[in-house]
Amino acid sequence: MSYKISIVGASGYTGGELLRWALIHPQMEVAQVTSERFAGTQVTKLNPNLRGFTQAEFTSVKTLNTDIDTLFLCLPHKVSAPFVKQYIDTGVKIIDLSADFRIHNPQTYEHYYQPHPCPELLPRAVYGLPELHREQIKRAQLVAGVGCLASSVILATAPLVKAGLIDPSRIIADSKIGSSAGGAAFDISTHHPERQGTVRAYKPTGHRHTAEIEQELNAIAQAANHQAIVSVGLSPHAVEMVRGIFSTIHAPVSRPLTDLDVWKAYRSFYSGSPFVRLVKDKGTLYRYPEPKEVIGTNFCDIGFELDADRPRLVAMSAIDNLMRGSAGPAIACFNLMHNLDEKTGLWVPGYHPI
Ligand SMILES: NC(=O)c1ccc[n+]([C@@H]2O[C@H](COP(=O)([O-])OP(=O)(O)OC[C@H]3O[C@@H](n4cnc5c(N)ncnc54)[C@H](OP(=O)(O)O)[C@@H]3O)[C@@H](O)[C@H]2O)c1
């Protein structure tokens, strides 16, 4: 059986990545892909990697037919929310990849973004990270796609917070991120002469993804009856990669720990989560996670090291921002919302070497 899907904002980077996976998904049939700027243009003129896989043309969102099973919105935040409001009562399942429905608290959303245009819909959205909300996602009509930086930090720290291994009020996350995270629209900061060779801090404090990281980790801490309030200092850096995020997360340990304690916490949290891989390969070049090994896949690779001389744990995670940080969990959520195996259409290894 196939499910009809449409992608609004398919000319962008996440929309293009989602389309790449939708076209080879065994149970998705792509009905419409929209772009306002490129309406009437063949998709392969913008996405030459899809030659031979589709002859579709972009259409305007004004012609969107909602006689489909699932609508993917790959739009900028603020642009997305009105579309959710417009289509939610048609009964179609919606997976919104923007930030508009990730934050449950409208004041927090306003603090980091702008006043929310439809706060009444926030309680209907489930945060689209299967590792945390698999059962709720299965029943959801509206799923909020994850933030790319946020998912790299949440996945590396959630098991540690749940098991009470670290002081959650003093988490520091230092992330390196590739240029495709900025989207396809021209921006001086992603222009090749400016970006080439760069290691540039941006938003060293107050990054928007802090809101969803703290929201999700606080929920885990509360469910585990931990008293401390989670506080995360997130500092991203733009680096030269096109795709990829590498997050290094530092936290004080809450008691003396062994490697086995940390392994156990990760293993038990991620049993039944096929897209998280634990990496700690002593004595090889690949002893820690690395974005290159997960590019083009839905995997999040996680590693860690306990500081032998200080009460500190360093966790590391590597993802592809366009896949594991966006299109990948969106497709995994689609699978769950349609009672399919979470891995359907997503189970591929990465490239090596790349
Ligand atoms: N890039 C990432 O790594 C990443 C990761 C996680 C989440 N996200 C989120 O995913 C969303 C899309 O990001 P992106 O990187 O794919 O952005 P992008 O490359 O700039 O693409 C944006 C898309 O939105 C469409 N669009 C913009 N304004 C529109 C409007 N008023 N009406 C209809 N369509 C409109 C554009 O279509 P036109 O052709 O008409 O301009 C384009 O297809 C954002 O909310 C972003 O925060 C991105």
- The model's pLDDT over 263-322, given as tens digits with 9 standing for 90+, comes to 999 999 999 999 999 998 888 888 999 999 999 999 999 999 999 999 999 999 999 999
Write the residue with the smallest CA distance to atom 2 of ligand 1: 181
pLDDT bin (cut points 50, 70, 90) of residue 187 is confident
Instruction: Measure 198 CA to ligand 1 centroid, in angstroms.
Output: 24
Could you tell me what percent of the chain has a pLDDT over 90?
94
Burial of 334 (0-12, 13-18, 19+ CB in 10 A): buried
Based on the domain organization, do 258 and 244 belong to the same domain?
yes
**Which range of residues forms the domain containing residue 26?**
3-145+324-337
Instruction: Measure 79 CA to ligand 1 centroid, in angstroms.
Output: 9
Residue 354 lies in a domain: no
Question: What sign does the dihedral 41-43-48-53 (CA atoms) show?
Answer: negative
Residue 199 in 3-state DSSP?
A: strand
Based on the domain organization, do 116 and 159 belong to the same domain?
no
Based on the domain organization, do 330 and 316 belong to the same domain?
no
Instruction: Measure 96 CA to ligand 1 centroid, in angstroms.
Output: 11
Q: Which of 74, 118, 148, 333 is catalytic?
A: 148
Based on the domain organization, do 262 and 138 belong to the same domain?
no
User: Are 166 and 313 in contact, with CB atoms under 8 Å apart?
Assistant: yes
Based on the domain organization, do 316 and 331 belong to the same domain?
no
pLDDT at residue 284 in the model:
84
DSSP 236-265: EEEES-SS-EEEEEEEEBSS---HHHHHHH
Task: Compute the mean pLDDT over every residue in the chain, rounded to the nearest whole number.
Answer: 97
Ligand 1, pocket residues at CB < 6 Å: 9-15, 35-38, 61, 74-77, 79, 97-99, 147-148, 180-181, 183-185, 321-322, 325-326
8 CA: nearest ligand 1 atom: 34
- Does the annotation mark 300 as catalytic? no
183 CA: nearest ligand 1 atom: 15
Based on the domain organization, do 210 and 260 belong to the same domain?
yes
Based on the domain organization, do 17 and 111 belong to the same domain?
yes
CATH number at residue 69: 3.40.50.720
Based on the domain organization, do 282 and 165 belong to the same domain?
yes
Residue 343 lies in a domain: no
Residue 28 has pLDDT above 90, yes or no: yes
Describe the crossing of helices 328-337 and 130-139 by its angle, rounded to 10 degrees: 40
97 CA: nearest ligand 1 atom: 10
Tell me the backbone φ, ψ of residue 4, rounded to 5 degrees.
Answer: -80, 130
36 CA: nearest ligand 1 atom: 40
Residue 154 has pLDDT above 90, yes or no: yes
Beta bridge partners of 303: 316
Write the residue with the smallest CA distance to atom 17 of ligand 1: 183
Indicate the number of domains in the chain: 2
Least confident of 93-97, 121-125, 225-229: 225-229
- The model's pLDDT over 31-88, given as tens digits with 9 standing for 90+, comes to 999 999 999 999 999 999 999 999 999 999 999 999 999 999 999 999 999 999 999 9
